Amino acid sequence: MDDNYLNVVMGIIMNAGNAKGLAHEALEAAKLNDFEKADQLMTESSQALAEAHNVQSDMLTKEAQGDHTEVNLYMVHAQDHLMTAITYQDLVKELITLYKKNMNFA
């Protein structure tokens, strides 16, 4: 396994992990009714997720061009992080929306 491959895997893992962590911080801010902070953190989370997704998209483009990427446990782990971060971010967006709606009824 070469350094470039590890950089790709770690790029996905780190950016997806950052995206998930920032989304969690946004949820905590929403619980405290700090929606400005929650929105800012979700913007940062989306940026980190876009970085992870860009790394994945580059890999997919190379694969389509015939440059095969080895799939091993590291890559599976990276993809797991990415998909979990995407799902968690989607859920947090919905929860923040609910917190905002509840504030209107308080």
User: What does pTM read for this prediction?
Assistant: 0.90
Hey, what amino acid is at 91? L
- Annotation marks residue 77 as catalytic: yes
Q: What is the mean pLDDT of residues 67-79?
A: 92
Residues above pLDDT 90, as percent of the chain: 80
Task: Give the contacts of 15 (CB within 8 A, at least 6 positions apart).
Answer: 48, 49, 51, 52, 55
Cα 36 off chain centre by: 20
Contact criterion met (CB below 8 Å) for 13 and 53: no
3 is in an annotated binding site: no
At 70, the pLDDT band (50, 70, 90 cuts) reads confident
* Measured CA distances, 103 to 68, 74, 95 (Å): 51, 43, 12
Cα–Cα distance, 50 to 64 (Å, whole number): 20
Domains of the chain are 3-105 (1.20.58.80)
Query: Is 87 a residue whose pLDDT tops 90?
Result: yes
Cα–Cα distance, 43 to 40 (Å, whole number): 5
* Measured CA distances, 105 to 9, 12, 102 (Å): 45, 40, 5
